[in-house]
Structure 1
């Protein structure tokens, strides 16, 4: 993706079901679980590069010894920093003789992450910024093991203000920082209540203190705790939590917006945000990896037993389609095929854009995530060209006109030509939040292969999505002009992004979407500016009304225009100064119908269609328009 879109965060959890000595004997590594956690996070590194954090719980530690640990970093390359720091600690302890790898009990006692329960998080900064205060896992401490809580997640909630208000109403003094803090305190409150209920009951039975602690640990019902906590949440989430006694939970939102997968055998239970990392790290086939059902929380007790609880009523599934278009790695076979299909389904629009001129057309892609869709488009182009050649050969044969010259013209001179035209030649942090600095960097991220396009060719470049058009306008199209094609066609495998997201992707400022900018420009050009005020009044009434929002009034901004009209205006808006180049620029977007055909099982497409799965989404889209109209940069949630 050439534009900045904040990535989804990634989670990983590993629960060893055997003592550390088992893994030392079988695999020669008492840190087998720790290594698996690192690999799961490394294989999901695409999901977060602003921060990384890990947590560990050691089972059965004697009283007085630490049992719960956390390490985080927001420095450059945070994942490497976290694990290098921990392994350096381990090596120092081995050299000092306090830890002996051949004796796993010394590893558990001496190394902070020599435990059986491990959790990791990869973060892309959204509302919480980029400081350590916003880096997961969050930690809630207590001298009671069953009241200690470490929490991380891939999520956004739309009603954090209401959640904080409910905490205040309970008598708490929450810090209004992030939705993570609000969730931590909600779960922590329910955890405290469950602990106190058990404690009073067991004390009334006359049990001694150590027996009470053991019984609380045994009887603590995390499924019930989470069900109490999650009542009233509006958003998309996958949450992982560790309790100090060794219990763990993993929960997924009722709509399935955020992904979560898991694997279990007699040695380990492991969870991750994507299926492919589990397959790679544990050497699995796809059917061995299961998907956590939406609206369910999986609990792993300290004794290793697993249970699932449905914490919310079933709802129509609305998995985020952006996971398939862009966020998840393409080495999952289903995602790979879907992305190829997204590229292939652009075929009719692309052929029309090149005016069937195969001989003078060059096809390429904007690296790196558009590559698979590009393969799908090229495959479709070649299949179409083969059918045309076959028909031409048969017609020539029937007419007696078939000869070597005709065959050369049909096959050799008019075949789809692919080139690596655009390159990402350096690693720059193009997701840096500061707008001015990011734009300066973005203009140098991409470079071209000079001479790969002949003057007079049509150059077709595939991108997986176009959000703001900033990088197209400030970098990519400027450098593509240097090749002097007669026409540049930018092809997006995603439809026009028209509406904000509020369930994980940090796309909340409506005025920054290039499709919205195009629609507003068309409104102004055609003397329809009263529509802007009309929509403002409708949005204000919707947001300020007492009932939950249910109508997306921003749809009225787009309704006077066809998708083709908006695409044409987008092409004008992203076109840089010609600088002596007199060619044409065209922008093509995927249709929503083709998206649904290519990605049939992930129906969450509110950023394209404006059809939100929760009331919070409708409130956010209307608030986003109010912010645009009032010229405020505030986030809509």
Structure 2
């Protein structure tokens, strides 16, 4: 999962920088901005958070076209690559950034390019887009031909030294993408909240649609035939900002409803409801409201440590132990319903349960606002290997013992889809992948 942004208009590089700051929650590993300078793109970027990777004082105020990216690795090697990628096509440069996973990138590279030169789906997408740009001479038609051969999830932005700007979304609409068009500008961002933070009126780009701008003219056009809608349900569960709108639904409201519906199937008596900050807070709010039990903050998060789920694997365990402090006066002698958005690997759940019991909690009842994650994601969430999933081939009682909780309750898939209120990709819970990618899942896992 990553965050992408683009801007066509005055001060483009600095606007994209601000958009990336608003999308920082989507990736902590690396960040980059490619901005147009004369007849070429200048790439500013590196590893770490946006303010670490990009020196804002070096971004010019005069440039009128830029694209940007924040990275969280789901494919390609951890910590060694970042976007945007810049490709030269007969003297024209393309700057490309994308969010998602291309599940057939290896076979597509061999089919279109003749070989797999770089084993990274982002590179293959950029190379195929450049290949068709050479044939078509414009980004919109090149994107349409690229969509014919690639399968997977993608929200992408691209720009050329000819002044073109493109944004596109895959036929299932798996990843979010929004845009704003005004007097003399066009802006694109992964989430509506980023555009809203800059005071811009926005619209969501529809599935199988593209936004194409050339000079001051922008148009919304078809990218490919539309498939059945399959927005990623984990965007609602965890990944998107709570103040974002995804497929017309407010993420915060969806999470609160997840908590309410979970509480309705839980007859355990507790003294307080506590969220796992920050992603579990909205669901815990709904759970507490439904139960009529006080919502109490018992964990103090060090916000400078970021989100443990989107860190590289080698850093996750130690990070969780250091991220939270316990408010002992709120814990001692109490029966606690501890609510989180999900349980993927179980590392966060077990460490927090241990922290609370070590601080005097009488009972800890762990509650997951989503069902057990039993299948790997091949579409952009970082659990691509079945062996990572604590719920894979284990009973609820076995997982409870691993976590160390007194009881463990998961939400149901029926409750989750009811809370979201629209069709969605639930492959991580049901192992049923979107129709256009099913035949390529085994290729991606290899």
Q: TM-score with structure 2 length normalisation?
A: 0.92
- Structure-1 residue corresponding to 2:86: 139
The 2-side partners of 1:119 and 1:272 are apart by 10
The 2-side partners of 1:10 and 1:297 are apart by 17
The 2-side partners of 1:432 and 1:594 are apart by 29
Change (3 A) 1:599 1:54: same
Cα deviation, 1:160-180, whole Å, max 9, x if unaligned, reads 1101211353xxx54232011
Cα deviation, 1:129-179, whole Å, max 9, x if unaligned, reads 2445x210111125623xx2111000101111101211353xxx5423201
- Structure-2 residue corresponding to 1:467: 344
Cα deviation, 1:385-425, whole Å, max 9, x if unaligned, reads xxxxxxxxxxxxxxxxxxxxxxxxxxxxxxx2332212223
- Structure-2 residue corresponding to 1:290: 203
The 2-side partners of 1:225 and 1:234 are apart by 16
Instruction: Verify the 8 A CA contact 1:235 1:614 in the aligned structure 2.
Output: no
Change (3 A) 1:482 1:331: same
The 1-side partners of 2:383 and 2:438 are apart by 12
Instruction: Verify the 8 A CA contact 1:499 1:607 in the aligned structure 2.
Output: yes
Q: Is residue 47 from structure 1 mapped to residue 26 from structure 2 by the alignment?
A: yes
Give the counterpart of 1:585 among 368, 381, 406.
406
* Pairwise CA distance, 1:369: 1.3
The 2-side partners of 1:126 and 1:346 are apart by 30
- Structure-2 residue corresponding to 1:357: none
Matches within 5 A, 1:302-341: 303-332=215-244, 334-341=250-257
- Structure-1 residue corresponding to 2:7: 14
* Pairwise CA distance, 1:570: 1.5
Cα deviation, 1:442-464, whole Å, max 9, x if unaligned, reads 22322211132343x32111101
Could you tell me which runs of 5 or more consecutive residues in structure 2 were left unpaired when the two chains were aligned. Answer: none
The 2-side partners of 1:81 and 1:495 are apart by 36
Cα deviation, 1:59-95, whole Å, max 9, x if unaligned, reads xx5xxxx442221211x33x113442x51x46xxxxx
SS at match of 1:69: strand
Matches within 5 A, 1:396-435: 416-425=293-302, 427-428=304-305, 430=308, 431-435=310-314
Change (3 A) 1:377 1:125: same
- Structure-2 residue corresponding to 1:366: 276
The 2-side partners of 1:263 and 1:174 are apart by 36
The 1-side partners of 2:302 and 2:160 are apart by 45
Structure with higher Rg: it is 1
The 1-side partners of 2:439 and 2:406 are apart by 35
- Structure-2 residue corresponding to 1:247: 164
SS at match of 1:141: strand
The 2-side partners of 1:448 and 1:381 are apart by 24
Q: Is residue 492 from structure 1 mapped to residue 404 from structure 2 by the alignment?
A: no
Change (3 A) 1:335 1:434: closer
Matches within 5 A, 1:82-481: 82-84=53-55, 86-87=56-57, 89=58, 111=60, 114-132=62-80, 134-142=81-89, 144-145=91-92, 148-169=93-114, 174-194=116-136, 220-281=137-198, 283-284=199-200, 288-301=201-214, 303-332=215-244, 334-350=250-266, 352-354=267-269, 361-382=271-292, 416-425=293-302, 427-428=304-305, 430=308, 431-435=310-314, 437-455=315-333, 457-473=334-350, 475-481=351-357
SS at match of 2:162: coil
Q: How many residues align?
A: 440
- Structure-2 residue corresponding to 1:207: none
Instruction: Verify the 8 A CA contact 1:164 1:176 in the aligned structure 2.
Output: no
- Structure-2 residue corresponding to 1:507: 383
- Structure-2 residue corresponding to 1:568: 397
Instruction: Verify the 8 A CA contact 2:106 2:119 in the aligned structure 1.
Output: no
The 1-side partners of 2:53 and 2:304 are apart by 21
* Pairwise CA distance, 1:434: 4.5
* Pairwise CA distance, 1:34: 3.3
SS at match of 1:308: strand
Change (3 A) 1:299 1:426: closer
SS at match of 1:49: coil
Instruction: Verify the 8 A CA contact 1:164 1:174 in the aligned structure 2.
Output: yes
Larger strand share, 1 or 2 = 2
The 2-side partners of 1:338 and 1:51 are apart by 29
SS at match of 1:516: coil
* Pairwise CA distance, 1:486: 3.8
The 1-side partners of 2:16 and 2:327 are apart by 39
- What is the root-mean-square deviation of aligned Cα atoms in Å? 2.2
SS at match of 1:248: strand
Q: TM-score with structure 1 length normalisation?
A: 0.65
Change (3 A) 1:615 1:442: same
The 1-side partners of 2:380 and 2:329 are apart by 41
